[in-house]
Amino acid sequence: MTPFEFQRAADAQGAIAAAAAAGAKYLGGGTNLLDLMREGIEHPARLVDVTGLQGDIRETEGGGLLVGAAVRNTALAEHRAVRERYPALARAVLSGASGQIRNMATVGGNVLQRTRCTYFYDGAARCNKREPGAGCDAREGFNRIHAILGASEACVATHPSDMCVALVALDAVLHLAGPDGARTLPLERFHRLPGERPDQETELKAGELIAAVELPALAFSARSTYRKVRDRASYAFALVSVAAALDLGPDGRVRDLRLALGGVAHKPWRARRAEDALRGERLDADALRRAADAELADAKPLRDNGFKIELARRTLAATLLGLSGDRA
């Protein structure tokens, strides 16, 4: 491991000042960054510990919740307001990692974890994310878990976070702080698709810090859930996952809904085409099939992952039928 300097920040401004040094990175729970350092992929010259910053969950004036970036994942999933008003988020966090990891991992760190695949960790493999311009061995390699939406010739990795899929479906907004001041950004716009530079994964500016994640008030967020399909029950990354919130009218038609997919793209995938197709419709087999087909129309499977298209169709339908009260 490359030697590095360690500094603990007392406040956001102190963290931003410390992170101005060349090669500095923010450190939350370290469940991703320290792993990458041990593997020789990340080589920060300075780690700025931000776990002492905003670590509580507060009510907002608008009726939502403001979740500090230093809140541990366990605390987020166990918080009463989260469980009652945003159950999709609590379920996503619980499906994402073991209890030991959830006790360490922070909300901000989860949002910032690297989009990656097994080839990213393999120093003998070509990986544009690890070394821009090197090539992507995953495209012609074992690519069963890789992206079917939004990928590029440069990268086909999928975003690993379960929590972020639920946050995107719930219209979460990031509160950012940096050398140029504070700003907000919808989480849906925070992660980038790979394009030609898959190493540039987010819209963070140099030195910026995630201060908090805001969950806006959503009238039907209490009727939400998260469903994850994976190869094994022991905290594997999703093959496909669905976060959904549903509002049905008295006639059984969809008044409004929110949908996001995980395991299918380089970022949490907001399923807006499916949302548009289902508003005003009854959740019958034809409507669900049309919605899934609309969302997956641009899917481009690789040699080993074409099954994800049908798996996404079925998981989307089962999730919404479960929320509607029909068997799924």
pLDDT by residue (tens digit) across 140-179?
999 999 999 999 999 999 999 999 999 999 999 999 999 9
Q: How confident is the model over 9-32, as a mean pLDDT?
A: 92
pLDDT above 90: residue 97: no
Average the pLDDT over 53-77 and give the result. 96
* 119-134 pLDDT per residue, tens: 999 999 999 999 999 9
Q: pLDDT per residue over 189-211, tens digit each? A: 999 999 999 999 999 999 999 99
Whether 5-51 and 226-324 share one fold: the answer is no
Domain residue extents for the chain: 5-51, 226-324
How confident is the model at residue 249, as a pLDDT?
96
Stated length of the chain: 328
At residue 278, the pLDDT reads 98
pLDDT of residue 221: 97
> Is residue 213 scored above 70 in pLDDT?
yes
State the pLDDT at residue 328: 53
The per-residue pLDDT for 258 is 98
**Could you read off the pLDDT of 106-118 as tens digits, one per residue?**
999 999 999 999 9
> To the nearest whole percent, how much of the chain has pLDDT over 70?
99
- Tell me the C-alpha distance between 53 and 9, whole Å: 8
Query: Under CATH, what is the fold of the domain 226-324?
Result: Enolase-like; domain 1 (3.30.390)
CB within 8 Å of 78: residues ≥ 6 apart: 90
How far apart, in whole angstroms, are the C-alpha atoms of residue 170 and residue 221? 7
Question: Domain 5-51 maps to which CATH number in 3.30.43.10, 3.40.710.10, 1.10.8.10, 3.40.50.300?
Answer: 3.30.43.10
